[in-house]
Amino acid sequence: MEKLELIYQAQKEISVLSGIIELLGWDEETNLPEDALEGRAEQVKLIEVLIHRNFLSARLWYAVNKALPTTKKDALVLKELKREISKQRRIPQILVEEIAHQEIICRKLWKDARAAKDASLFLPGLKRMIKLKRRYAQLVMSGSDNYSALLSEFEPGIDSSRLDKIFSRLRDELLSIKEAIAQREYIDLKTDRSMHKKLVKDIVYSMGIEKRRLVFGVSMHPFSTQISRNDVRITTRLNDSVDILFDAMHEAGHALYDLNLPKEYLHTVLFSGSSIGLHESQSTLWEIFIGKSMMFWQDYYKQYKQVLKQPCSLDAFMKNMHSVGKPLKRLDADILNYCLHILIRYEIERDLILGKIDVSDISRLWKERMKDYIGVVPENDAEGFLQDIHWADGDFGYFPTYLIGLMYAAQIFEKMQKDIPEFENCIRRHEFHPIKDWLAKNIHSYGKTLSSEKIIMKATGNGLSPEPLLRQIKRLVS
Ligand SMILES: [Zn+2]
């Protein structure tokens, strides 16, 4: 078999197998009987082994190194494939297994610690996880330090010394915006669930996702997944809150990105979002900058109000949506405190990986920063640093991508405002096609052929910048 043919065939097999894993994951979150977890884990593991075997086969590695590209596409595919395989070849199988094993242990310890409100149950497991992750970072070493190496797994091309500068500007400005605005109590407005569900679906379709390519589901935590090119799934939680609408717009933003990936790269390593941060920019753009804007609600609220159990005025509805409080939990936070929550975890996880602090310092540091940034101190660690599962999963370097995504989203929003004629009216009338088309052309169409920052640079004329986000937050909360 020709080398290029072998390369494309191997990628297709990996891509199809990955779709099967996504399908099994979707089913696990939405449908799986309680007792079937073990059976499901066996199924997932087998597919993972097949992917791994394919990816690290000597035949594929030989072909990737010897093949001569005949088209621009071949050249791009070979470059990315070579980068990815050579990285994975540097990680010994024993370390991969140790990390996977430690994840299982840590998740269990994390759950136990949360239930007992006692972080000491989790800390030894976490300490071991950090040690393994540091070893991993040294082996892949694609950044200037261990933390940057882990960050680059999610956000290639951006290292932590750069983030430190951007984030410290964000932190100082956010704290001063917060000081200047009045604190308000947030009321969780309730809806008629079945009427709301229908409205939520209509909004998602109006964003430009074809019914033929989408399935809705219900899960404990909302998520979206792509099973194959024309098959995306999104879930929402099962409750009566207005937030269900924003969850759905968020997940639909992710789904639109996946649906618009360039067809020519299907079944290759380039058929993917460019980075986690850029993916998150697509979801938060719809959820926050469009969905939570006055433009979105001005005309629509009259219709929407009918699903509210205690209807209020549009003005009260908007004020409630953007009330800035002192939330203990990131997932309950308004946009301003949400950013601050991310900064707290970023600062602590960076110092843990760099060895500047020990796991025994986390609880104290968390409480100190909560007091300084959010204005409230959690009574226990379950309400504190144990609120998110990422560290138990070994995902160090993931958190900052939430904030990178928000910065990109604000940059995109401001550029669309300039580029799209009658932008405000489009949102006001819920005619989202010009927005969808702009995103497809300027963001989605690149797949993974460029880094996220290069895509943003081409789309907006600027690299990663905190200023648009700060402007937009000020506009939303004041
Ligand atoms: Zn998301």
CATH code (residue 199): 1.10.1370.30
Q: End of a domain among 112, 128, 151?
A: 151
Residues 6+ apart with CB under 8 A from 116: none
- Contacts of residue 165, defined as CB under 8 A and 6 or more positions apart, other chains included, come to none
pTM for this entry: 0.96
d(CA 269, ligand 1 centre) in Å: 21
Contact 204, 214 (CB under 8 A): yes
Instruction: Output the CA 456–ligand 1 centroid distance in Å.
Output: 18
- Rounded to the nearest angstrom, the distance between the alpha carbon of 210 and the centre of ligand 1 is 20
Neighbours of 330 (CB within 10 A): 19
In 125-246, the DSSP E strands lie at 214-218, 224-228, 231-236
pLDDT at 143: 64
Mark the ranges of the chain whose per-residue pLDDT is less than 50: none
Query: What is the CB neighbour count within 10 angstroms for residue 173?
Result: 17
* Residue tagged active-site, from 29, 80, 155, 251: 251
Q: Rounded CA gap, 191 and 25, in Å?
A: 30
Ligand 1 centroid – CA 223 distance (Å): 7
Q: What pLDDT is attached to residue 146?
A: 96
- Ligand 1 centroid, distance to 293 Cα (angstroms): 19
The whole domain housing 181 covers 157-478
Asked if 158 contacts 457 with a C-beta cutoff of 8 angstroms, the reply is no
Active site includes 431? no
Is the domain of 133 the same as that of 189? Answer: no
Domain boundary among 151, 172, 197: 151
Same domain, 406 and 468: yes
Same-domain check for residues 223 and 296: yes
How far is the C-alpha of 146 from the C-alpha of 359, rounded, in Å?
17
Instruction: Provide the 3-class DSSP secondary structure of residue 91.
Output: coil
Give the count of domains, the chain: 2
Q: Is 333 helix (H, G, I), strand (E, B) or coil?
A: coil
pLDDT in the model for residue 473: 97
Residues with CB under 5 A from ligand 1 (ion): 283
Residue 322 shares a structural domain with residue 433 = yes
Which pLDDT score is estimated for 16? 98
Q: Do residue 177 and residue 143 come from a single domain?
A: no
Side chain identity at residue 122, one-letter code: F
* Residue 282 alpha carbon to ligand 1 centre in Å: 8
Tokens of 388: 């998110």
Tell me, in angstroms, the distance from the centre of ligand 1 to residue 253's CA: 8
What is the amino acid identity at position 178?
A: K
For the CA atoms of 200, 263, 5, 275, the dihedral, rounded to the nearest 10 degrees, stands at: -60
Report which of 282, 227, 222 is spatially closest to residue 248, judged by C-alpha positions: 222
